[in-house]
Structure 1
């Protein structure tokens, strides 16, 4: 399968690259700084660009079958000022797909876009409002735009991500967030994304993951 990958230099993107190339897929990866992506593979093409430029997205999507979007904000300080990364950049992805006739999209947001039953007092009333809420609101706009598009989407909402190992063992919910969600490794998020890329079991679904 020919995959257009957004966010290839992040932890989830790198894990997805490794697993997808290992399964024999061809990847076209978009990177703002291509030299930061040090993986060399005959089935990998690295293209310079970013999600704020529709033309770089349409170029990336040429001769691909599916778009996998794992780009995101790298830290809590950046989360306070998302600068439209999801609402503008993510919506540009939708526009580029519509322009190029692509239908299949896998997009990662976060379980935090909805209230969590197991949120503690400090997280719910102090940490989330101060550091994360603007990012979550930006993600909500992206999700809304995906849901109202004509794409064959799968929105994936992981919990807090770690650099833990690949286990292939995690829970999947297509009916809402888990009430007891736990941290998830980026490797296992990538594992689900690759499996869904190959099998398409959750088309037009919003999926939560957790151990």
Structure 2
């Protein structure tokens, strides 16, 4: 007999444990810095930790836990999904509250470094979550669910891109032409990633939010310039339109922190947020 589990909503004022994938990139790095400063426990999975420590003084933050490994390896991700023990001796081991995934391929002289980096990362993450869920118990006689406890369903904040919607065009036509000419492969990868997350959401494995920025830049954060559109990819409805050309990675990371990490963020569950200037 299978017992249905229900998500346990986080306390809006409680400190969270957040797993960052792709933390050396601009969006995740921006959100990571802000999360550390706010006192949240942050786990950063990095293939090359030096790439992160070169941008972030890890000795300053006792709430930062850097793990070396590959985001395409389900076993590594499985270990990262457990909260670390605290300095005051409290035992860790429960599932993390939120996962921020900002994986992406790098352009090379031969083309995109990995045409399926996002899709493979999502496959591995969902496999790791399933293993973690099986350990906690899913109503089969073992674990928390079988003992009547609520099993936490983690939040997933996945950074993707505009120009991949099946519902409506969310970028100006000139930019759409550029996307189709130069970014078809990485956009197909992000679209595949989103599809996997939506399916996992329907199965009750994760609560997802997609953050679709327009053309990303390395500009600074701004005040009052970011416009936010809202799409429901499951219902196929655009709830609020926002169409533009660019957005800085710093501003996207700031929005992720303020809207999805620092607060409750439930209004963004099952939604795609379109961020642009």
TM-score (norm 2): 0.69
User: Against the structure 1 CA distance between its residues 173 and 79, is the aligned structure 2 distance closer, same or farther, given a 3 Å change threshold?
Assistant: farther
Matched, 1:35 2:38: no
Cα distance in structure 2, aligned partners of 1:43 and 1:179: 36
Matched, 1:185 2:205: no
Cα distance in structure 1, aligned partners of 2:271 and 2:252: 16
Which stretch has the larger CA shift, 86-95 or 131-140? 86-95
Partner of 2:268: helix, strand, or coil? coil
Q: Give deviations 1:92-124, integer Å, cap 9, x for gaps.
A: 12222232234311001100213445121xx54
Shift of residue 210 of structure 1?
1.2
1:209 is matched with which residue? 275
Which stretch has the larger CA shift, 150-159 or 68-77? 68-77
Cα distance in structure 2, aligned partners of 1:3 and 1:144: 23
Unaligned runs of 5+ in 1: none
1:61 is matched with which residue? 81
Unaligned runs of 5+ in 2: 1-15, 84-95, 134-152, 232-237
Q: Number of aligned pairs?
A: 208
2:39 is matched with which residue? 24
Instruction: Please list, as runs of the form range in 1=range in 2, the aligned pairs for 1:105-184 lying within 5 A after superposition.
Output: 105-114=156-165, 115-116=169-170, 118-120=172-174, 124-125=176-177, 127-149=178-200, 150=204, 151-169=206-224, 170-175=226-231, 176=238, 178=241, 180-184=243-247
Cα distance in structure 2, aligned partners of 1:110 and 1:76: 20
Q: CA RMSD in A?
A: 2.2
Partner of 2:191: helix, strand, or coil? helix
Q: Identify the structure with the greater helix proportion.
A: 1
